[in-house]
Structure 1
């Protein structure tokens, strides 16, 4: 049994909780919003999340030829990124969706079946910090709007490095720190008032969306996150701000 007196406190939004508590709290958030998650993304971002994910997949550039390409989408949930990867690449692209929330994966499986993509997908209930896959087994790794919800970012990055083959690419799309004067104040006001209110109307509960907004504010800045990716062993680490830094795409290569 873990001695809770030895636990470190970690951020859960603006609260501090025991490190063994956080994952359960995150799971509860996503189980509540799974059925309306995609609808809420459209409402919260005015549809911009679709363009951001398109940019992410364009950077991945999955191959169109006959060579096999095995891709892992972590925190893949409802399949928004995974299905883009399949449609952007050739017929031998295969994607594994990994998510710690069975409810989110269930929505992804429904969408894959509806869209005729089920035969090219695998689904795994998995923790980003302890992936159930062998070393060096994927050619690409994406995580979109998920890494800020893990308990230990360094462990998730180490796992990303472990499961990628040499030459494999890591790409992370995540909310970040606005770098445009005045936009930051407008964005803060919108985030803490409009988003929880819309969440309450659409899902019946605004609290999960207050946590999601708070988790954005406690996530490392662009340069700090870049350093964490480099510390995990990735080479040629870069990032690209989108929409004035509302989100950023970080890229790194397994060597």
Structure 2
């Protein structure tokens, strides 16, 4: 990882090589919870997901250099407005968002299109409705000659190994060395299984999410295990429901 400012912004190639990156992760500290944004480098330009723009000029220069030509800004969840409007202005790029984005007027003014069959994304990148009531969208990319990756915002947390937290305390919901499925509201265990069992039909090598600094590898086995034997828990406030599993 290239650390631009300690505990500020860091960049790493998640898929590909430094010379030919396919997915670049950038990690942000100091803007609330640890946050992850991703650059998907396609022949038609770079797609940026749920951006958090650095506050430091040096980091912004690194971001601009790594991003190259930005084809679009992608919002995966109305809860991840982050710096979408500023990124759209800075990179003069259209913003794509989930159908539920109309409920959030702040970045709705910057929304150019919503994901649907009439608005295909470059390089065969697919959008999948997560089933969460907030309207989160998953991205599924079968990278040519590379890995098959699912990117989400807040519905699948977890990572296989401890670390990457930059010295910050780990929030329990990030499920360091484990997997945690999150759903808005109070859906039943049966409903959660229905939502996530759909992923068994996909070939997935990695799952990346909007907060964990490391990937979830061998994700289908992890999802199947948490659905069969994970802990089911409704948050005391009723705002969300979890199923989670610690890895040994």
Report TM bin, short chain. Answer: 0.3 to 0.5
Q: Select the structure that is richer in helix.
A: 1
Between the two structures, name the one with larger relative contact order (CA 8 Å, sep ≥ 6): 1
Using structure 1 for the length normalisation, give the TM-score.
0.34
Q: Select the structure that is richer in strand.
A: 2
Using structure 2 for the length normalisation, give the TM-score.
0.35
